[in-house]
């Protein structure tokens, strides 16, 4: 026996608009998409919720240093214009 629960969620307007568009594109209901998304999130979380998932480190690089003091408008414009 399958039991469904009706509930109320607060969803950002932008997300709701995209959800509505995606449901129409897939010819399904918004509820079905939300449930599928929640199932994915809950499946990815695994059985041990005590440890947060580790994210890959952000990339880093050497920029070569600064070319101009950005608080100096004239110097900044000169560099931007190639002088």
Q: In this predicted model, what pLDDT tens digit does every residue of 10-65 receive, in sequence order? A: 999 999 999 999 999 999 999 999 999 999 888 876 655 556 668 888 888 787 77
What's residue 60's pLDDT? Answer: 82
What's residue 48's pLDDT? Answer: 57
What's residue 49's pLDDT? Answer: 54
What's residue 52's pLDDT? Answer: 62
The pTM assigned to this predicted structure is 0.50
What are the structure tokens assigned to 54, written together?
């580790």
Residue 80 zone, left/alpha/beta (φ > 0; ψ -120 to 50; rest): alpha
């Amino acid at each position: 026996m399958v039991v469904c629960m009706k509930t109320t969620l607060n969803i950002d307007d932008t997300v709701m608009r995209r959800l509505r568009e995606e449901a129409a594109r897939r010819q399904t209901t918004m509820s079905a998409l939300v449930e599928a998304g929640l199932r994915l999130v809950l499946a990815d979380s695994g059985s041990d919720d005590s440890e947060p998932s580790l994210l890959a480190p952000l990339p880093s690089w050497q920029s070569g240093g600064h070319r101009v003091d950005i608080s100096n408008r004239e110097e900044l414009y000169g560099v931007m214009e190639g002088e």
